[in-house]
Structure formats: structure tokens, C-alpha cells
């Protein structure tokens, strides 16, 4: 079976095409990038900070940096991984020098619960909210390197390889941090149920 000319054409990476459009002044390119990654960045910031207001500020700070440095992106990692790195660095910078544990605010998490959820009864929503508050509070108690790895894997769904790129560490270190983070989280959650 002969290959068609369409099969032989090089595939264009959509991330690099988007960045190229941004470099050439296409105003819609950054809007598309923001649309694709804004929820991901906000969720990461919320899970690491435990506070809606901090998460919103961190999201804004992240996208200001993404906009500023996007033209320098060379494609050595995926755009998604790079945006996660920028967001994580913003979170680290914000909380550097503060107490080792970030505050968890169930009051600020209530704002998220105001979003409509038609698939759950009020009782189910209350249970999920209560359990979510406990997990968020427990996450704030584990050391930052473990929290970052657990959030990226278990809550954000990144692969081990993507996490290694985001955290700029070896794959074995990622596996170790996730295992230790899950162990710490399990212990804290078991203690909270007593």
C-alpha cells in the first residue's frame, strides 16, 4: 500500500503553532492558551494554597508571567508542563518565607460550592463538601514537596513523567514523593477520623 502525500507531511505541534501565532502578534492565540489552561492553573493554586482568593491572585500572576515569557518557550517540554511549572513557581514564591504550613480556609472553599451541581442531592453535596474540606486541610499539613507531587498526580492527573518535568527532578524522586505524600495524607486522615 503506497503512502499518500498527506501521510508524508510533517505534523505540526499545535502548542508550537499556538506560540508561533502569539509571537507573530495574533491576539487570539493568548486567549486560546488562557481558555485551555486557566482552570488547570486555578485548581493547582487552590489545592496548594487552600484559599480561593490566593488561588485567583496566583492564577493572575501565573498568566502574566506566561504572557511575558511565552515567546521564549522552545518546546523542550509540552506547553501544559511548562504552564504547570510557571504556576508552581508562582505558588512557591508566594509562600516562601511564610509558615511551613499554608492555611486552609473552608470559608473560601464555600464559594466554590455555590456552583450548581445538578447531579447530587443536598445531602450528597454536604458530605462531599465536608470530606473535601478535610482533605484540603490534610494536604496543607504535609511537607510541600510531597504535597506538590500528590496534587499533581492524584488531583491534577499528570503522568509521572510530566510531574518529573514540572518539578525538574528525576522520575524516582517523583515516585518517592508521591508515595511519602500519600502515606502522610493517609496518617493525617486516619487521625482526623478518631
Q: Which three cell numbers stand for residue 170?
A: 528525576
pLDDT more than 70, % of the chain: 75
pLDDT tens digit sequence for 43-57? 999 888 888 899 999
Q: What is the phi/psi pair of residue 89, to 5°?
A: -65, -35
Phi-psi region of 51 (alpha: psi -120 to 50; beta: other; left: phi over 0): beta
Q: Quote the cell numbers at residue 36.
A: 485551555
CA max distance for the chain? 68
pLDDT digits (tens, 9 = 90+) for 3-36: 555 555 556 677 888 888 888 888 898 999 999 9
Query: Residue 129 and residue 113: Cα distance in Å, rounded?
Result: 7
- Average pLDDT over the chain, rounded to whole? 80
Amino acid at each position: 500500500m503506497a503512502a499518500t502525500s498527506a501521510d508524508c507531511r510533517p505534523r505540526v505541534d499545535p502548542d508550537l503553532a499556538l506560540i508561533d501565532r502569539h509571537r507573530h502578534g495574533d491576539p487570539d492565540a493568548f486567549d486560546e492558551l488562557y481558555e485551555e489552561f486557566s482552570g488547570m492553573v486555578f485548581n493547582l493554586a487552590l489545592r496548594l494554597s487552600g484559599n480561593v482568593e490566593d488561588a485567583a491572585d496566583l492564577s493572575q500572576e501565573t498568566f502574566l508571567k506566561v504572557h511575558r515569557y511565552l515567546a521564549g518557550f522552545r518546546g523542550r517540554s509540552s506547553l501544559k508542563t511548562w504552564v504547570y511549572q510557571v504556576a508552581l513557581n508562582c505558588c512557591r514564591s508566594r509562600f516562601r518565607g511564610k509558615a511551613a504550613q499554608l492555611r486552609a480556609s473552608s470559608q473560601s472553599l464555600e464559594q466554590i460550592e455555590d456552583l450548581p451541581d445538578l447531579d447530587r442531592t443536598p445531602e450528597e453535596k454536604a458530605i462531599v463538601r465536608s470530606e473535601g474540606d478535610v482533605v484540603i486541610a490534610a494536604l496543607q499539613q504535609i511537607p510541600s514537596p510531597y504535597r506538590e507531587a500528590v496534587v499533581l498526580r492524584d488531583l491534577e492527573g499528570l503522568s509521572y513523567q510530566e510531574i518529573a518535568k514540572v518539578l525538574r527532578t528525576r522520575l524516582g524522586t517523583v515516585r518517592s514523593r508521591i508515595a511519602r505524600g500519600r502515606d502522610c495524607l493517609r496518617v493525617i486522615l486516619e487521625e482526623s477520623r478518631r
